[in-house]
Structure 1
Amino acid sequence: MTFYSTNNSANVVSLQEALFNSLPQDKGLYMPTSIPQLPDGFIDGITNQSLAEIAYKLTKLWLHDDLTPAQIEELVTYAFPFDTPLVELEAGRKYVLELFHGPSLAFKDVGARFMAGLMSIYSATQSREVHILVATSGDTGGAVAMGFHNVPGVRVSILYPKGRVSQLQEKQLTTLGGNIHAFEVDGSFDDCQAMVKAAFLDNDLTKAFSLSSANSINIFRLIPQSFYYFRALAQLQADHAPAVFSTPSGNFGNLSAGVLAWRMGLPVQAFVAATNLNKVVPDYLSSGQYAPMASLATLSNAMDVGNPSNFVRLQRLFEEDFDQLSSLVSGVYFTDDQTVDEMIKLRDRYNYIACPHTAVGLLGLESYQQLHVDNCGIALATAHPAKFSPVVDTIFGHSVDVPERLAVLAQREKHAIAIPGTFAAFKESLLELA
């Protein structure tokens, strides 16, 4: 399989190049040169199959020229020892797809573990240790840290914004040790993301390290995230109404993955891009003008992104056709007050405890369904609510149960390298690790 740069379609590279050198030198992002199409009967054939079973079939469509069936089986078995169950809130009308049953309790586990498994298969062919750089607004860092912890031949450096991730999220980033290093940046997620991008274009760092990324800028984070959209439909009744997905959106990798599934042939009526006050894409969908902004801090902190990297991929998936994009994707945004009200309503009406990000997704679904009646709505539940304690605890007035694999982190000691929000400071600190 081959991939092209969004800044130069003639810049075509191999799977391994896109996997390990995730950012092209021309500052674009990699996209597949072709998108495999579902064979006849594929959707009917995955009814009630698990995430791992569906992932095996889809990975064969994507990577049959690059991996053997045995390698694909090894990859999906490692990546998906968990599933993504569909929870019914209103029969035939409103569902939540729970994506937080992996080790870090967030949807990022799906892409991070797939990418770690794929890198593990190819790591023996690399002449140098691979050094992965990751910017996180909350969940990505924990998923990458757990997915790559102690993977041979790989080192990971995670940048996160000081004071803008939850305490348990921070523990996931800073307590594993070993091949995992955390940088606490005095700045925003956008600052962290800019540093990672700058590092890939810096001659000194590219000479010192074999750099790669596990952010959604890496195409192999995005492709496996398309798998759980298929898993969602596999759990519905055969005669369900047309499907609508509402995706809590920050860096827009998750929504791009859904559109990628649609491009493969997944039957979808519409997507809802649900954001907090960082509403660059909803504004674009209503005006046609893309205007990045400085990110704003909100309760749904993992979505606090003012200049989403994957926006360019979203455009490419629609072949730069704004009318087609805006007709399939609706953009909506919500305040913290609306998010809190929704969390309380979900508890009181459905006995469902949602994190702030999931609440934004459900708000987006409800806004769509108010205008469109004949559909089956699925909101993506992106993280376990316990990851956002004490904010969630304060909203509900009581402690949310914390799964044991997360609770044990609270007692571990934090280890992080504190740096100002400048690339020069990060570069200096990173070179000290060489």
Structure 2
Amino acid sequence: MKLYNLKDHTEIVNFEHAVKLGLGQQQGLFFPVELPVITSVELSKILKMDFITRSTEILSYFIKNEISKDKLYDCIKKAFYFQYPLKVQIKNNIGCLELFHGPTLAFKDFGARFMAQMILSLNKNNESFTILTATSGDTGAAVAHAFYGMKNVRVIILYPKGKISELQEKLFCTLGKNIKTISINGSFDDCQKLVKEAFDDKILKESIGLNSANSINISRLLAQICYYFEAFSLISEEQRKKLVISVPCGNFGNLTAGLLAKSLGLPIKYFIACTNANDTVPRFLKNGIWQPNQTVSTISNAMDISQPNNWTRVEELFKRKKWDIKELKFGSVSDDETKKTLHELFKIGYISEPHAAIAYRLLKDQLKEDEFGLFLGTAHPAKFKNTIEKILNNIITLPQALKNRINLPLLSHNINPNFSKLKKFLLEK
């Protein structure tokens, strides 16, 4: 598999190097040189496979012979050992694809655990390296648990202090061992900026073997393609002809993966890119001006991102496929409207959380009568227990994964968004 740097097309690497590097020169993201396409006959065969076999087949179209199918199958089986996505019917023409049944109760488990298996598999010389990543909520826990206890791997996770839920924080800031967490006095965008600055520092990058586990890493992105095919396999033949998918968007990795699934040959009618008040992309799609505002805090905190990393990949894919960017639907939802939507879902018997509620709101508002829609359930409602209970006046039962950690002390360090302080931490610890 060959990939090129979106900021420097002359930098071309294979899959192994893209996984190990994370980012290319000038903080550029890697993108596939070849965009494979499967036939309708191949699609029919793939949809009849079990999730692990199907995922192996899908990813082999991209990775090709760089990793043998047997080895890829083994890695995927180890990564996706948990319960696969579930489709829950909400209304006659709307369903939720629940992606939060993994060990850290969020869709990020798919990408993080696949990346961990890829790094383990590709690290033939048992080299030591440091994974530096930023999280706006769920990435941190997924990455921390995926790499927890792994030899020769140190994980450093940055997150905005006071801007993720208490239970999200408990999931990854109580582990210790090879997992180090730092709360940053700022926004997620500040955390993300620090990560990029670290990758620009050649001495730092080489001395500690720096890598990233954000959705900027191609391995995480590819893994997420798999559950879009699973979604397609879970619906009827009739529903497949008119499928619309609504995606809650933060860093836009989830949407990028869905669009890559469509590019590969999955006949999704269109996507809805859903944001909260941090609406850089919806405003851009409306008026053609890229103008990020100051990031604001919302109850859908994982989407509190004003400068999404993966948007360049979305634009590149539309350009390469000669798709019209106007085919991408969009919208943003305020906190007040999100709360109303949580009540609406609760009244029809479904307890959701803010991110999925935003995706449901925009799907319901934009879906046509002859279409079938799925919105992505990206995190378990219990991760936002305090918020949900206050809004719905209903007790949320904690899953065991959260019960195990709720009373453990936080082990996080705290710094201002200052790169020199982060660099000192990375070199000394």
- TM-score scaled to structure 1, two decimals? 0.95
Q: Identify the range of structure 1 (18-27 vs 269-278) with the bigger mean alpha-carbon deviation.
A: 18-27
Q: Of the candidates 366, 369, 373, which is equivalent to residue 368 of structure 1?
A: 366
Alignment CA distance shift 1:209-1:407 (3 Å): same
Supply the distance in 2 between the matched residues of 1:173 and 1:80 (Cα, whole angstroms): 19
- Aligned residue for 2:196? 197
Shift of 1:172: 1.4
**What is the 5 A alignment of 1:114-193?**
114-125=114-125, 128-193=127-192
- How many Å separate the matches in 2 of 1:323 and 1:153? 43
Aligned amino acid, residue 191 of structure 2: C
CA shift for structure 1 position 90: 2.0
- Aligned-pair CA distance for 1:49: 4.3
Give the whole-Å Cα distance in 1 for the aligned partners of 2:50 and 2:190. 38
Partner Cα separation in structure 1 for residue 216 and residue 250 of structure 2 = 13
Which amino acid counterpart does residue 89 of structure 1 have in structure 2? I
Matched position secondary structure for 2:391: helix
Name the residue aligned to 1:74: 74
Once residues 110 and 87 of structure 1 are traced to their aligned partners in structure 2, the CA distance between those partners, rounded to angstroms, is 19
Contact persistence 2:263–2:321 (CA under 8 A): no
Q: In the alignment, is the contact (CA less than 8 A) between 2:341 and 2:357 conserved in 1? A: yes
Tell me which residue corresponds to 2:425. 429
Match of 1:377 in 2: 373
Aligned partner of residue 64 in structure 1, secondary structure = helix
Tell me the amino acid that sits aligned with residue 85 of structure 1.
L
Q: Deviations over 1:317-370 (max 9, x none)?
A: 11178971122x111000001001101110102x1110100000101111211x
Paired residue secondary structure (1:332): strand
Asked if the contact 1:52/1:83 (under 8 Å) is kept, the reply is no
- Indicate the SS of the match to 1:226: helix
User: What's the counterpart of residue 402 of structure 2?
Assistant: 406
Instruction: Please name the residue that 2:386 is paired with.
Output: 390
Q: What is aligned with 2:352?
A: 354
**Aligned match of 2:103:** 103
Change beyond 3 A, Cα 1:323–1:207: closer
Shift of residue 51, structure 1, vs aligned partner = 3.0
Q: Secondary structure at the match of 1:291?
A: coil
* Number of equivalences: 427
Bigger Cα displacement from structure 2, 379-388 vs 197-206: 197-206
Match of residue 267 from structure 2: 267
Q: What SS class does the counterpart of residue 352 from structure 2 fall into?
A: coil
Q: Which amino acid aligns with 2:111?
A: G
TM-score after normalising by structure 2? 0.97
CA contact (8 A) 2:185 2:414 kept: yes
Is residue 300 of structure 2 the alignment partner of residue 304 of structure 1?
no
**Equivalent residues in 2 for 1:74-93, closer than 5 Å:** 74-81=74-81, 82-91=83-92, 93=93
| Secondary structure of residue in 1 paired with 2:124 | helix
Q: Report if aligned partners of 2:113, 2:143 keep a CA contact under 8 Å in 1.
A: yes
Alpha-carbon distance between aligned partners in 2 of 1:75 and 1:242, rounded to the nearest angstrom: 33
Q: Distance in 2 between matches of 1:321 and 1:45?
A: 24
Contact in 2 for aligned 1:88/1:94 (Cα 8 Å): yes
- Give unpaired runs (5+ residues) of structure 2: none
Which position in structure 2 is the counterpart of 1:331?
Answer: 330
8 Å CA contact 1:272, 1:365 repeated in 2: yes
Match of 1:431, as an amino acid?
L
Matched letter for residue 408 of structure 2 = R
Q: Separation in 1 of the partners of 2:151 and 2:70?
A: 21
- Asked if the contact 1:137–1:189 (Cα under 8 Å) also holds between the matched residues in 2, the reply is yes
Q: Tell me the residue number matched to 1:345.
A: 344
Tell me the CA shift for residue 185 of structure 1.
Answer: 0.7
Measured against aligned partners, the alpha-carbon deviations of 1:369-395 in whole angstroms (never above 9, x if no partner) come to 1xx222110100000000012111111
Question: What amino acid does structure 2 have at the position aligned with 1:384?
Answer: H
Aligned-pair identity (%): 37
| Deviations, residues 248-271 of structure 1 (Å, cap 9, x unaligned) | 001111101111111111101110
Please state whether the residue corresponding to 1:271 is helix, strand or coil: strand
Query: Equivalents in 1 of 2:420, 2:141: separation in Å?
Result: 25
> 1:205: how far off?
1.2
Q: Secondary structure at the match of 1:346?
A: helix
Query: 1:97 aligns to what SS in structure 2?
Result: strand
- How far residue 421 of structure 1 moved from its aligned partner, in angstroms, is 1.4
Contact 2:59-2:222 at 8 Å conserved across structures: no
Which letter does structure 1 place at the counterpart of 2:354?
P
**2:228 equivalent to 1:229:** yes
**Which stretch shows the higher mean deviation, 189-198 or 164-173?**
164-173
Check the 8 A contact 2:98/2:376 in 1, yes or no: yes
Q: CA deviation at 1:113?
A: 0.6
